Structure 1
């Protein structure tokens, strides 16, 4: 039972003996150059508008210290995670963003680069962040420990939040789908409606989680400047 349940989240799961599941992560990058040869459609114009809106929001979060092009990294991060989350909604396609090997490889280098930049260029500013303003003197040692720990677990929380949210909905869909053969015809129609509603919820979760990942990465970067 457990093997069948988690087999859809196994990167080594293959179709016709071809291990193509990890390829779904890069399909979007392969398709991007082709879009430059097409006349912009309504979908392209909508996507450009979404990217511009995100650019303005990330620019506001970065504040007055943002550099030209600094928001492109976070907009690209949002696009990559969103595409991978959507790919997982299709049958027989492995959701790469539900694995910690994928989410940690996104979160850890980002956090590490922010920390190196902050401690090398703004050391005094980083030390000031360890003690919030207005902290009583007796609590300062404890606040330094708490702030240090909360800073250290940031890449883990980013990665686990994305992976757990993506795998939870898919597991629920799988569990409900496995009960189908044991139901009568009237209950199956109710099950299909529930599955459709859960799929719509997963669609919304895919957008929200990619947005949360990009927003938190932007906020972490704004703290080190």
Structure 2
């Protein structure tokens, strides 16, 4: 029985006092080798089509000189969408609902982009701090605003993903806890609404993975 509303998001809970929840992060990798040894199926063809489409889109965003780097962001999308989808299963911990996981993805990417940009394209990075056509008196303020918006990028990436995962799961948990106190007629409405919310959460899991990968790709394209 849940003693705390947020205990379903507690990464330290587990079986026999063992913190096994973080193991859900690597469960998605169990589906990857299946594509290489099993016969082609509809799932395999669908996933191949999806990743190929993302690969082409990310190549356009990165430009022809750095198009090979799109495989990194396709892999990032795959990792996040696997973890988001596994979190929809009962009693499976959603690792992407914690800032410890999302910051571990966003912060190293952002730091590597900044180091690469300031070392190899220093003038471009300085020019990016002042938008084209900015009046002279406003330039110091625009530099400050651009620096702040650049620094908070990994935080916004991490918080956006974690907040969207927590919000949907928390709503499902709240509605599920009201089930025992409802009558038969209201219970059927509750089950129907839970199914609709589950479908919505499935769409959110894919969309948030796509948003995270696309924004990371855009941040990488800005330093080139």
- Shorter chain as normaliser: what TM range? over 0.9
Which residue is 1:100 aligned to? Answer: 99
Which residue is 2:130 aligned to? Answer: 131
Which residue is 1:145 aligned to? Answer: 144
Question: Take 2:2 and 2:46, find their aligned partners in 1: how far apart are those partners?
Answer: 42
Question: Take 1:2 and 1:137, find their aligned partners in 2: how far apart are those partners?
Answer: 59
Which residue is 1:219 aligned to? Answer: 218
Greater Cα offset, 95-104 or 8-17: 8-17
Secondary structure, in 3 states, of the residue corresponding to 2:19? Answer: coil
Which residue is 1:47 aligned to? Answer: 47
Which residue is 2:84 aligned to? Answer: 85
Question: Take 1:135 and 1:79, find their aligned partners in 2: how far apart are those partners?
Answer: 40
Question: Take 1:102 and 1:55, find their aligned partners in 2: how far apart are those partners?
Answer: 24
Number of residue equivalences = 224
Which residue is 2:13 aligned to? Answer: 13
Alpha-carbon shift at residue 31 of structure 1 (Å): 3.9
What does the per-residue CA deviation read over 1:69-106, in whole Å, with 9 as the maximum and x for residues that have no partner? Answer: 21000000000000000010000011000000000000
Which residue is 1:170 aligned to? Answer: 169
Which residue is 1:22 aligned to? Answer: 22
Alpha-carbon shift at residue 181 of structure 1 (Å): 1.5
What does the per-residue CA deviation read over 1:39-74, in whole Å, with 9 as the maximum and x for residues that have no partner? Answer: 22121111111110000110111123324x210000
Which residue is 1:32 aligned to? Answer: 32
Secondary structure, in 3 states, of the residue corresponding to 2:4? Answer: helix
Matches within 5 A, 1:185-200: 185-200=184-199
Which residue is 1:61 aligned to? Answer: 61
Secondary structure, in 3 states, of the residue corresponding to 1:14? Answer: coil
Alpha-carbon shift at residue 24 of structure 1 (Å): 1.0
Matches within 5 A, 1:195-214: 195-214=194-213
Secondary structure, in 3 states, of the residue corresponding to 1:141? Answer: helix
In angstroms, what is the RMSD of aligned CA positions?
1.5
Secondary structure, in 3 states, of the residue corresponding to 1:4? Answer: coil
What does the per-residue CA deviation read over 1:126-157, in whole Å, with 9 as the maximum and x for residues that have no partner? Answer: 00000000000010000000000000000000
Q: With the length of structure 2 as denominator, give the TM-score of the two structures.
A: 0.96
Q: With the length of structure 1 as denominator, give the TM-score of the two structures.
A: 0.95
Q: Is the 8 A contact 2:77 2:213 kept in 1?
A: yes
Name the CA shift for 1:70/1:36 in 2 (closer, same or farther; >3 Å): same
Which residue is 1:72 aligned to? Answer: 71
- Residues 1:112 and 2:107 aligned together: no
For structure 1, which runs of at least 5 residues remain unmatched after alignment? Answer: none
